[in-house]
Amino acid sequence: MDTRWMTLSETVKIELYQSMEEGRDVKSFEEDVEQILENFKIGQLREEDARILIDRIKNSPIKVDYSYFEPVALLEIKKLKPKKEKTTLNKFDKNSYYNKIYGAWLGRCAGCLLGQPVEGWMSNRILGMLKETGNYPIHNYLSSAVDKTIRQKYSIVDEGHVYGSNFINWINNVSYMPEDDDTNYTILYLKILETYGRDFTSENVAHSWLMDVPIYHVCTAERVAYMNLVNRILPPLSGSYYNAYREWIGAQIRADLFGYINPGDTEMAAEFAWRDARISHVKNGIYGEMFCAAMIARGAVSDDIIDIIKQGLGEIPEKSRLTEGIEKVLNWFKQGLSWEKALEKIHLLYDEGNNHHWCHTISNAMICTIALLWGEKDLEKTIGIAVCAGFDTDCNAATTGSIIGIINGASNLPEKWIAPLNNKVKSGIDGFGLTEISELAERTMKIVK
């Protein structure tokens, strides 16, 4: 859980990275940014100076050789989607779909629980701990009940505040799926669809955030957007107004329910995701949620991973940085690389020690794609690869677990990954608390298209 205050002085360097990736010529501002940060480190908060500098950075001209086209308006996004052939979907049997929905909820929870204890760890620390505990490749949940020397070497502790818990969520410390933002959002959007129906608006979602979610239960881009909403800065401006995190992973982890309730309809799933993502994100931050929602919707009717990924890409702009990243992964797979080599390539492209890279939509969407392609529709292998990558471990394992869960259905998921959940998930969303996962699946079924 992120408890930073997110002052402008803290975020100015993230804005520098973000604007640079959006094609702006911002190199001349680097020294000014470092000076703001140095003052912040010694307790001097130069908020007005930071605001002026952020405005100058954001208003810098776009480089003439910038080759991406990344709109935020839905109609413009649709115009820039790649042309794709219409495909014949498998017959949809609503009577058997509950098994898939339940599997998706379980897969999301299992992936999140696997990755949660090592969220924020660098990959070398994760891999070292896994290998020294005999859990590489991953074949069991992560436990803190290991040899004392290993605990000391990898700074493994049990105490630590995670939402409402005072313990780190190693498997030996839990008896259900503990609270996490990766599951909170899925539950929140179930509540939103139950309340407003399928015609819900971005404003409905914004209202629900303020009514149903405590501010410290949201992070980075969502927290900035939350503060903007409190100050009556409404969507879509809430997603970009002094929001340096506007292309981070936060929207991507909110996609799942929109896929669950639109089986086979990737366009509708992506549109629902767009209505949500624009509250807190722009450009690739929005596309990440659309991409994942569309993949999940496709996974409800297809078990072909490459088809699922391409159908996801079919709902976002063809000349976007996200599409370019996912296409790179598809090419690595075609070249016959191992998943370990593919993850090495991620680490060459992105610096996990840089918060902007660590939590960006694109780096993590690429990791999800690797996990799906090399995971071979196996829950254990898929979520295991997602965690071995480092970066945002619980988010990526949750997203890929959800997709594998909806492909295979609850009845085909391995017992050792499902039993520890005890069919329960705890939530910070108002009105839920500790809820049976099967009940969430049943309620989801009632709003399926």
CA 332 to chain centre: 22
Tokens in use for 396? 């990526």
Q: What is the DSSP letter of 434?
A: E
Rounded alpha-carbon distances, angstroms, from residue 6 to 60, 314, 389 = 23, 35, 27
Residue 248 bridge partners (DSSP): 360
391 φψ region: left (φ > 0), alpha (ψ -120 to 50), beta (else): left
Answer yes or no: is 392 a known binding residue.
Answer: yes
Q: How far apart are CA 202 and CA 437, in angstroms?
A: 26
Q: Give just the sign of the alpha carbon dihedral 423, 276, 375, 2.
A: negative
Residue with tokens 């480190």: 41
Q: What is the DSSP letter of 421?
A: G
Q: How far apart are CA 280 and CA 181, in angstroms?
A: 15
Nearest residue to 401 via CA among 420, 415, 385: 385
- Rounded to the nearest 5 degrees, what angle is found at the Cα of 142, between the Cα atoms of 373 and 352? 60
Answer yes or no: is 394 a known binding residue.
Answer: yes
Q: Judge whether 158 and 144 are in contact, CB under 8 Å.
A: yes
Q: How far apart are CA 89 and CA 151, in angstroms?
A: 50
Residues in the chain: 449
Q: What share of the chain is helix, strand, coil (3-state, %, to 5)?
A: 60, 5, 35
User: How many C-alpha atoms does 238 have within 13 Å on its Cβ side?
Assistant: 26
Tokens in use for 379? 């829950």
Q: Which residues are annotated as a binding site for Mg(2+)?
A: 392, 394
Q: Which residues are annotated as a binding site?
A: 392, 394
